[in-house]
């Protein structure tokens, strides 16, 4: 295995007096799905926003495809596909207009943009609604279009923030299949969710976040073993959190 596609090293992110991420370290290899798991407010979205070059680290560093997000966020955004936790589509544009706009922002020429959009339309089955305005699309359709938007430039790293939130069973399954396929094409995927069962199904490795700190890290099986052979990842998480939050525990929340 070569250099990791994503490196997070002693990352700290503070918002005024609040520490959202505290001394977080992990790495993701090419061809790996890494899940960031944790409850609301654990620091998942903040970590992913730092990786996407939207937020600047307070301390520590984050590298995407070997590029420091703090020193060259624009180049990071060119190498990375970021799917936000809201679909974030421009409601008054059609699917075609939206993808065309982002293709141009990524520097694709008209012919290259057309070809790439055609590939994504087929892969994500966008054709039935591609000419409609985004405001009229269903949640599943919007999410597929969002994935297409994030994948337009065929990035080597995908950062997906709660991509299955609000999706029905079929749409969730479709998305998981797509992510696995991208992993198999050699992409590094960082995936955040608070659906532990879904993470267990999809992720090669998982980092459990709690109050901005990495509680534990490993494969789903390793994490269950770490928590005393917990029957599920959810149970493992609860046991690990209880151990940290217990009175007298050395690990304290910031």
Partner 1 sequence: MKLREVKLVAGKELRETLRDRRTLAVMVLFPLVIYPLVSLVTAQVLAARVARIEAHVARVAVSGPPALTGELRRRLTSADVVVVASAAESNRAVLAANRVDAVAEVKPGAAGKPPEVRLLYDETREESATARDRVEQALAVPVGGANCRPAFSVATAGVAARTQVSGYMLSKILPLVVVVMVMLGAFHPAIDITAGERERSTLETTLSAPIDRTSLMAGKVLAVATLASLTGVLNLASMSLTVLEGTHLIAGGAKTPIPWLRAAAAFAVIPPTAFLFASVMVAIGALARSFKEAQTLLTPVYFLCMAPALTAGLGDFQLGGVTAWIPGVGVTLLARDLILGHASLGVTLAVLVSTALYGAAALALAARLYDSERLFFTDEAGLGLGAWLRHVASGHASAPADGTDDQPATTAGHALALYAIACILLFFVFVPLQTWRLGPGLMLSEWVGLGGLTWIYARGRGQKLAEVIRIGAPSPTAFAGAVLIGLSAWLVVGLVAEWILPAPKEVVEGLRRAVAPTDGGRGTLVTLFLMALTPAICEEALFRGPILRGLRTRLSPAGAAILTGLLFGIYHLDPWRLLPTAILGVALSGIALASDSIVPAMVAHFVNNACLILLARLHADDTDALATSTKLLLGTLGAVVLSVGIHLMRRADKKRGGM
Interface positions with partner 1 (CB under 8 A): 14-18, 20, 46, 49, 52-58, 74-75, 77-78, 82, 84, 86-91, 102, 105-107, 146, 149
36 three-class SS: strand
Instruction: Tokens for 120, please give them.
Output: 């994504």
Helix (H) or strand (E) holding 38: none
Where residue 186 falls (left for φ over 0; alpha for ψ -120 to 50; beta otherwise) is left
6-15 sheet: strands from edge to edge: 18-28, 6-15, 59-64, 67-68
31: Cα separation from own chain's centroid: 14
Tell the smallest beta-carbon distance from residue 78 to partner 1 (Å).
Answer: 5
Tell the smallest beta-carbon distance from residue 134 to partner 1 (Å).
Answer: 10
d(CA 126, CA 55): 31
DSSP assignment string, 84-139: -SS----TTSBHHHHHHHHHHHTT--HHHHHHHHHHHHHHTT-GGGTTSBGGG--H
Tell the smallest beta-carbon distance from residue 15 to partner 1 (Å).
Answer: 4
**Backbone CA torsion sign across 237, 251, 190, 49:** positive
Tell the smallest beta-carbon distance from residue 234 to partner 1 (Å).
Answer: 26
Tell the smallest beta-carbon distance from residue 228 to partner 1 (Å).
Answer: 34
Q: CB-wise, 34 or 102, nearer to partner 1?
A: 102
């Amino acid at each position: 295995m070569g250099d990791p596609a994503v490196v997070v090293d002693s990352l700290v992110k503070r918002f005024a007096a609040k520490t959202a991420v505290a001394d977080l370290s992990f790495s993701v290899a090419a061809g790996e799905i890494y899940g960031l798991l944790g409850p609301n407010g654990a620091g998942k979205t903040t970590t992913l926003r730092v990786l996407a070059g939207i937020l600047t680290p307070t301390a520590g560093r984050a590298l995407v495809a070997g590029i420091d997000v703090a020193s060259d966020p624009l180049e990071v955004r060119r190498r990375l596909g970021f799917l936000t936790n809201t679909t974030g589509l421009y409601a008054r544009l059609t699917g075609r207009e939206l993808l065309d706009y982002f293709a141009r922002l990524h520097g694709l020429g008209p012919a290259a943009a057309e070809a790439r959009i055609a590939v994504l339309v087929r892969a994500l089955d966008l054709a039935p609604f591609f000419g409609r305005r985004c405001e009229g699309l269903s949640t599943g359709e919007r999410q597929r279009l969002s994935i297409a938007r994030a994948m337009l430039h065929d990035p080597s790293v995908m950062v997906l923030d709660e991509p299955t939130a609000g999706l029905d069973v079929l749409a969730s399954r479709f998305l998981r299949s797509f992510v696995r396929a991208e992993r198999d094409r050699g992409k590094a995927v960082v995936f955040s969710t608070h659906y532990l069962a879904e993470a267990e199904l999809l992720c090669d490795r998982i980092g459990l976040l709690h109050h901005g700190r990495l509680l534990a890290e490993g494969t789903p099986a390793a994490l269950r073993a770490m928590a005393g052979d917990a029957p599920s990842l959810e149970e493992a998480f609860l046991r690990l959190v209880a151990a940290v939050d217990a009175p007298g525990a050395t690990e304290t929340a910031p």
